[in-house]
């Protein structure tokens, strides 16, 4: 969004006389303190407010109850007040540090192991540690001399720095050096590597020694990385190259070593197989059901989740209350400012900071962090507390300070409508340079792996540096459906449409894995969330939204379901379908039998869509604290479901009126559009967008005292005048209020306390995780006006605003209503499954792919491939079952002869008026009776359904009259021994096939296609690879382990 700055800026300069300056210095000086009666501070003792102690050379007074908080390191905002230096004591002198290595002239190459060395001294004490940093991020803390550490060089320009700390808490100035790391030369001979395991069949939790033999003919070995199932689990930097690996998951694991030489060249060993079994489920690890865990990384889930996988948010917060805090309301006028001090902290569980963008360098971007006016990192405001010990200010500093007091989690939100495909430059103008589109996807449609890695690393770095608890990705939108997203980014997004989802999958997996590694290092689980669309149109181009596995939770943007981008006058955020949606009716959604009468532009449908792949508790519905609206409305019931086309359709804004049957809408302007965006010409764009507090004033006929600050000029612009009556109406089926001005023919879709209460009850009843809202500054309270027309106290009854003695402004009425509803709610739902789960698993991999793109994806017809990794043939006639959500009607089928059908319907009514009835449909299919699914074989189910789903989920297979779950869904359950039950299936069971020839083929983990550095990257369609004495052929572009999913087809056994 483009936000105008309507406040005036003033620069006041003051000159201080010598006398005044010296007086100020005198007031700030501290007299020596008599410390003779004071006891020395004791870390184990409890001190109450007012008690005084001596610590080091100074005296301190406790501000409040405290224990084990060192006075010397408390700082201005800590538990102790520094009273000054004791009589006869010498003030502590800060330590010094000198970074002696590397030098600025040192020639460094990617992959070099660089030694960082510093000398440190303290004239009146001892050095307790030296921190070494690369580009501002501490990589090592050394507590004893010699002060030295190592760093593996990465290509590019870097700043290396050191800082020392003494035993009294003082810190030195930073000593730093700028270096340049060049790329690896290309004429280097790659090293060699072989691998051996101390055991190949172990019980879960056992330790296996991985040993690599690595050599380099023209240099030295820099390191050896060890991989389990393509995931890095450890590194050895010196010979002998060994790793003690503790097994964390059951199954058949592929293990290999990757050697890197001193110039960065790499080579992989042949892979070895490690089989891990368990007779008992894994002990509780607090991991939420269905959440992906990076292999070989011990993620500390229990730091924020309980043993049942539910998030710990405080006794009065069993459900989430998530508010977006925007960066741009940072002015000096209280009429349009919303600062950290204005947040109702006690009523929230999470805050998303909006927004961080992707800069021209491909890294996360908040502008020039050295600029003292940078709102994110540098600016300060009266009354906004920022702990100076943090080392940064701005909104980031204020959020970090406040969250520590209130126990609220904060996340960085990256993207947004305006910054998905660009960012704002120093001059405030938008730079459309591709953003997410080009960072994830190359111009030829291939995945931009290098840029994704770079972006993800920078995002995790920013999160850690500025004390956030996670990342929230607001990418609008990685869908194959045309016209979705900011029209200013059309040149980037439209040519990449069909490739966006594939690169989004890689982006989210990369972020999850980097966050898991950081979590293990920092001993705190870092969160990954997204803002997800709710429209069935957009979701149709996002396959089955399989990235939900990487998310702690999803925030559904269950708003903007109707708006002035077309002329259908409807609700911004209906909870339920009513069967009257004019846009759906125009496209004959209600009348098309295949759709089952299901309307999909409502919150309930969107929730059930995501419920197909996630527990209810990992889903949050969205609520708008703003309006959408039209002018010139004709027809409908008090405007609802009427039409409002722009009078001159030749003047439609880009991105509006999309679709052959749609007109662009006649968006409300002026006083009905106070929170408006501007087009590229700087003109107001009609959208009927207002904060709810302004809409409440319109409803009561109040012309707000803030009008001029927002640029309203009723004397010169008739559109800014308060004309007519805004009457509130309420759709009790949709759970949606609106304002109708019959004189102006203006319709504003709203939200208020009454609708919020019903939506909060819905969240509780459905066991949903909580509510997310955009944005905090849109909430309202009623304020009593004094005789001068100034706002004073809050009137919770709102009587003052209804009787002409008050006005609405930024407040917390709706947020408090959510909190009051949730504070005594039952715990949220924590399992994907709705029924009983089998007690054992089998290793059958599932891949859902082969989707058509854009409008071709109807009916929705993916290929669901089942790969038999059990090591045993599965008999012909075996039945498979799984769940799909009720977001699709119960008419799913297949075109592959499996006889797929719904065997238990979760919703049977011919419509979804007032909400969908159940959660899941259970479907089943059978293998052909005459053909077993051999070990390593693949069965392809050609599935058909008619409205989008996420998932499927809760797979089972019945083998020899026993139901088994699938290992990838239930990794904590034991793996079944199918040998004990016999096997009636066919297949060759691994017997070599006649004529199977591997001549000229590479052996995994080598792959046919290489990246820019010559490393194995992927296989293209038709490429063949040898793995575990089997030849596999790629069905499409893939980097997966051959045979692990449906991207590969088994060719023959060697």
Residue 940 lies in a domain: yes
Residue 695 lies in a domain: no
1024 & 893 share domain? no
What is the CATH classification number for the domain harbouring 976?
2.60.40
Q: How confident is the model at residue 2 (pLDDT cuts 50, 70, 90)?
A: very low
Q: In what side-by-side order are the strands of the sheet with 806-810?
A: 791-794, 780-785, 806-810
Contact 1021, 999 (CB under 8 A): no
pLDDT(3) > 50: no
pLDDT(124) > 90: no
- Please write the tens of the pLDDT for every residue from 30-87: 457 889 899 998 888 888 888 999 988 889 998 777 777 788 877 666 778 888 888 8
**Across 790-794, average pLDDT:** 94
> Which pLDDT score is estimated for 706?
96
Listed in sequence order, the residues at least 6 apart from 475 whose beta carbon sits closer than 8 Å to its beta carbon are 415, 420, 436, 504, 530
48 & 66 share domain? yes
Per-position DSSP letters for 68-84, written without gaps between them: S--GGG--TTSSEEEEE
100 & 81 share domain? no
Antiparallel, parallel or unpaired: β 175-182 and 727-731: unpaired
Supply 907's token pair: 């919703």
More reliable by pLDDT, 550 or 13: 550
* Residue numbers of the domain that contains 1015: 1002-1053
**Across 659-664, average pLDDT:** 82
Residue written as token pair 């008999």: 875
Q: What is the DSSP letter of 401?
A: H
882 & 974 share domain? yes
**Across 565-569, average pLDDT:** 97
Distance, CA of 38 to CA of 35 (rounded, Å):
5
> Which pLDDT score is estimated for 532?
98
Choose the most confident range, by mean pLDDT, from 109-113, 248-252, 675-679: 675-679
Residue 226 lies in a domain: yes
**Across 601-609, average pLDDT:** 98
More reliable by pLDDT, 921 or 1041: 921
- Please write the tens of the pLDDT for every residue from 206-250: 889 999 999 999 899 989 988 887 777 778 888 999 988 877 667
Residue 835 lies in a domain: no
Residue 476, φ and ψ in degrees, nearest 5 = -120, 95
Contact 572, 749 (CB under 8 A): yes
209 & 173 share domain? no
875 & 971 share domain? yes
Domain finish residue from 251, 277, 303 = 277
Please tell me the total count of domains within the chain: 5
Supply 427's token pair: 């001059």
Torsion sign over Cα 1033, 1035, 1039, 1040: negative
More reliable by pLDDT, 718 or 203: 718
> Which pLDDT score is estimated for 284?
56
> Which pLDDT score is estimated for 982?
35
> Which pLDDT score is estimated for 972?
87
Distance, CA of 258 to CA of 327 (rounded, Å):
44
- Please write the tens of the pLDDT for every residue from 455-475: 999 999 999 999 999 999 999
Choose the most confident range, by mean pLDDT, from 86-100, 889-903, 1018-1032: 889-903
Distance, CA of 343 to CA of 272 (rounded, Å):
55
Domain finish residue from 252, 277, 302 = 277
Overall pTM surpassing 0.75 (yes/no): no
Residue 467 lies in a domain: no
105 & 56 share domain? no
Distance, CA of 665 to CA of 642 (rounded, Å):
11
Please return the burial class of 876, using the count of CB atoms within 10 Å of its CB with bins 0-12, 13-18 and 19+. Answer: middle
> Which pLDDT score is estimated for 75?
65
Residue 554 lies in a domain: no
Angle CA(273)–CA(279)–CA(280) in degrees, nearest 5?
Answer: 120
pLDDT(938) > 90: yes
209 & 79 share domain? no
Q: In what side-by-side order are the strands of the sheet with 80-85?
A: 52-55, 58-62, 80-85
Contact 630, 667 (CB under 8 A): yes
48 & 107 share domain? no
- Please write the tens of the pLDDT for every residue from 1011-1050: 878 888 889 888 999 998 889 888 778 888 887 776 777 8
What is the CATH classification number for the domain harbouring 1018?
2.10.10.20
The secondary structure element, H or E, covering residue 965 is: strand 962-966
Q: How many other CB atoms are there within 10 angstroms of residue 302's CB atom?
A: 15
3-class DSSP string for 242-274:
EEEEECCCCEEEEEEEEEEECCCCEEECCCEEE
200 & 178 share domain? no
pLDDT(26) > 70: no
What is the CATH classification number for the domain harbouring 104?
2.60.40.10
Share of the chain above pLDDT 90, in %: 71
- Please write the tens of the pLDDT for every residue from 471-526: 999 999 999 999 899 999 999 999 999 999 999 999 999 999 999 999 999 999 99
Q: How confident is the model at residue 991 (pLDDT cuts 50, 70, 90)?
A: low
- Please write the tens of the pLDDT for every residue from 843-882: 999 999 999 999 898 999 999 999 999 999 999 999 999 9
Give me the torsion for CA of 964, 967, 969, 974, rounded to 10°. Answer: 80
Antiparallel, parallel or unpaired: β 423-424 and 430-431: antiparallel
pLDDT(540) > 60: yes
> Which pLDDT score is estimated for 16?
30
Distance, CA of 439 to CA of 432 (rounded, Å):
13
Residue 854 lies in a domain: yes
Flag the least confident range among 36-50, 153-167, 179-193. Answer: 179-193
911 & 973 share domain? yes
121 & 164 share domain? yes
Flag the least confident range among 25-34, 84-93, 809-818. Answer: 25-34
Residue 899 lies in a domain: yes
Domain finish residue from 182, 201, 226 = 182
Residue 456, φ and ψ in degrees, nearest 5 = -60, -45
pLDDT(365) > 90: yes
Residue written as token pair 């003109």: 683
Residue written as token pair 């996002």: 542
> Which pLDDT score is estimated for 10?
27
Q: What is the mean pLDDT of the chain?
A: 90
Angle CA(1044)–CA(1047)–CA(1048) in degrees, nearest 5?
Answer: 70
- Please write the tens of the pLDDT for every residue from 292-349: 999 889 999 999 999 999 999 998 999 999 999 999 998 778 899 999 999 999 999 9
Flag the least confident range among 563-572, 639-648, 1023-1032. Answer: 1023-1032
Distance, CA of 358 to CA of 435 (rounded, Å):
6
b (16+ CB within 10 A) / e for 59-79: bbbbeeebeeebbbebeeebb
């Amino acid at each position: 969004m483009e936000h105008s700055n309507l406040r005036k800026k003033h620069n006041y300069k003051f000159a201080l006389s010598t006398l005044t300056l010296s007086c100020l210095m005198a007031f700030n000086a501290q007299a020596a303190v008599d410390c003779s009666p004071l006891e020395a501070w004791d870390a184990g003792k409890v001190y109450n407010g007012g008690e005084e102690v001596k610590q080091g050379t100074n005296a301190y007074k406790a501000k409040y109850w405290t224990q084990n908080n060192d006075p010397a390191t408390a700082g201005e905002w800590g538990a102790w007040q520094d009273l000054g230096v004791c009589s006869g004591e010498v003030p502590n002198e800060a330590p010094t540090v000198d970074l002696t290595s590397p030098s600025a002239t040192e020639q460094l190459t990617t992959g070099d192991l660089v030694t960082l060395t510093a000398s440190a001294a303290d004239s009146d004490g001892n050095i307790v540690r030296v921190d070494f940093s690369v580009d501002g991020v501490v990589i090592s803390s050394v507590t004893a001399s010699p002060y030295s550490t190592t760093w593996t060089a990465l290509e590019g320009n870097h700043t290396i720095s050191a800082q020392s700390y003494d035993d009294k808490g003082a810190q030195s100035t930073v000593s730093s050096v700028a270096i340049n790391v060049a790329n690896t030369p290309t004429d280097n001979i790659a090293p060699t590597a072989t691998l051996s395991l101390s055991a190949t069949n172990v019980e879960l939790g056992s330790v296996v020694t991985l040993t690599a033999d690595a050599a380099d003919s023209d240099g030295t070995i820099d390191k050896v990385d060890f991989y389990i199932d393509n995931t890095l689990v450890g590194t050895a930097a010196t010979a002998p190259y060994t790793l003690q690996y503790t097994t964390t998951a059951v199954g058949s694991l592929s293990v290999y070593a990757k050697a890197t030489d001193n110039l960065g060249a790499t080579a992989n060993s042949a892979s070895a197989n490690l089989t891990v079994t368990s007779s008992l489920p894994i002990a509780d690890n607090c991991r939420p059901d269905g959440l992906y865990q990076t292999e070989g990384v011990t993620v500390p889930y229990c730091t924020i989740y309980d043993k049942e996988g539910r998030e710990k948010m405080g006794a009065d917060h069993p459900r989430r209350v998530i508010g977006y805090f925007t960066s741009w309301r940072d002015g000096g006028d209280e009429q349009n400012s919303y600062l950290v001090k204005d947040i109702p902290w006690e009523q929230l569980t999470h805050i998303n900071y909006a927004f961080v963008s992707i800069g021209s360098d491909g890294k996360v971007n908040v502008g020039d962090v050295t600029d003292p006016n940078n709102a994110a990192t540098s600016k300060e405001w009266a009354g906004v507390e920022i702990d100076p010990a943090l080392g940064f200010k701005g909104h980031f500093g204020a959020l970090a300070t406040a969250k520590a007091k209130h126990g609220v989690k904060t996340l960085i939100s990256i993207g947004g409508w305006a910054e998905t495909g660009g960012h704002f430059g120093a001059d405030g103008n938008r730079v459309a340079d591709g953003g997410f589109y080009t960072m994830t996807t190359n111009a030829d449609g291939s995945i931009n792996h290098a840029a994704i890695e770079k972006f993800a690393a920078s995002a995790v770095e920013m999160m850690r540096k500025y004390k956030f608890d996670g990342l929230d990705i607001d990418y609008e939108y990685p869908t194959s459906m045309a016209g979705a997203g900011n029209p200013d980014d059309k040149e980037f997004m439209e040519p990449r449409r069909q490739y966006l989802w594939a690169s989004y999958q890689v982006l989210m997996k990369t972020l999850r894995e980097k966050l898991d590694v950081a979590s293990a290092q920092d001993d705190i689980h870092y969160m990954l969330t997204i803002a997800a669309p709710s429209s069935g149109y957009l979701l149709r181009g996002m396959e089955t939204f399989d990235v939900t596995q990487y998310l702690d939770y999803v925030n559904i943007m269950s708003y903007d379901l109707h708006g002035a981008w077309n002329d259908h006058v409807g609700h911004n955020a209906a909870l339920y379908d009513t069967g009257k949606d004019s846009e759906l009716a125009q496209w004959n959604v209600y009348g098309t039998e295949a759709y089952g009468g299901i309307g999909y532009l409502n919150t309930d449908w969107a929730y059930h869509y995501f419920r197909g792949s996630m527990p209810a508790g990992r889903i949050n519905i969205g609520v708008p604290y703003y309006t959408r609206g039209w002018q010139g409305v004709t027809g409908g019931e008090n405007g609802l479901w009427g039409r409002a086309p722009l009078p001159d359709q030749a003047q439609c804004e880009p991105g509006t009126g999309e679709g052959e049957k749609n007109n662009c809408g006649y968006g409300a302007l002026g006083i009905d559009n106070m929170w408006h965006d501007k087009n590229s010409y700087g003109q107001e764009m009609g959208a009927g967008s207002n904060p709810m507090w302004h809409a409440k004033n319109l409803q009561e006929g109040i012309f707000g005292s803030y009008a001029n600050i927002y640029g309203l000029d009723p004397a010169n612009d008739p559109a800014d005048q308060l004309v007519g009556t805004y009457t509130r109406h309420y759709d009790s089926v949709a759970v949606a209020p609106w304002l109708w001005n019959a004189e102006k023919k203006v319709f504003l879709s709203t939200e208020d306390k009454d609708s919020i209460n019903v939506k909060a009850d819905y969240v509780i009843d459905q066991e949903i995780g909580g509510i997310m809202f955009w944005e905090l500054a849109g909430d309202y309270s009623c304020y009593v006006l004094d005789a001068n027309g100034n706002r004073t106290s809050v009137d919770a009854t709102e009587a003052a605003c209804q009787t002409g003695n008050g006005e609405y402004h930024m407040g917390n009425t709706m947020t408090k209503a959510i909190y009051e509803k949730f504070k005594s709610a039952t715990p949220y739902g924590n399992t994907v499954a709705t029924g009983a789960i089998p007690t054992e698993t089998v290793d059958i991999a599932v891949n859902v792919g082969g989707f058509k793109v854009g409008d071709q994806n109807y009916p929705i017809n993916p290929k669901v491939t089942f790969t038999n990794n059990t090591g045993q043939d599965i008999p012909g006639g075996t039945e498979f079952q799984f769940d799909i959500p009720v977001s699709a009607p119960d008419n799913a089928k297949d075109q592959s002869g499996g006889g797929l059908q719904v065997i238990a319907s979760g919703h049977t009514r011919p419509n979804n008026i007032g909400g969908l009835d159940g959660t899941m449909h259970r479907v089943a299919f059978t293998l052909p009776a005459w053909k077993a699914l051999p070990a390593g074989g693949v069965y392809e189910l050609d599935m058909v359904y008619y409205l989008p789903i996420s998932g499927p989920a809760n797979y089972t297979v019945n083998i020899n009259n026993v139901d088994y779950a699938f290992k990838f869904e239930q990794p904590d359950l034991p793996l079944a021994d199918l040998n004990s039950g016999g096997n009636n299936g066919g297949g060759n069971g691994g017997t070599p096939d006649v004529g199977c020839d591997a001549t000229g083929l590479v052996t995994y983990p080598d792959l046919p296609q290489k990246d820019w550095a010559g490393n194995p990257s992927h296989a293209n369609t038709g490429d063949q690879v040898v793995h575990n004495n089997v030849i596999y052929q790629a069905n499409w572009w893939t980097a997966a382990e051959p045979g692990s999913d449906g991207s590969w087809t088994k060719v023959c056994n060697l």
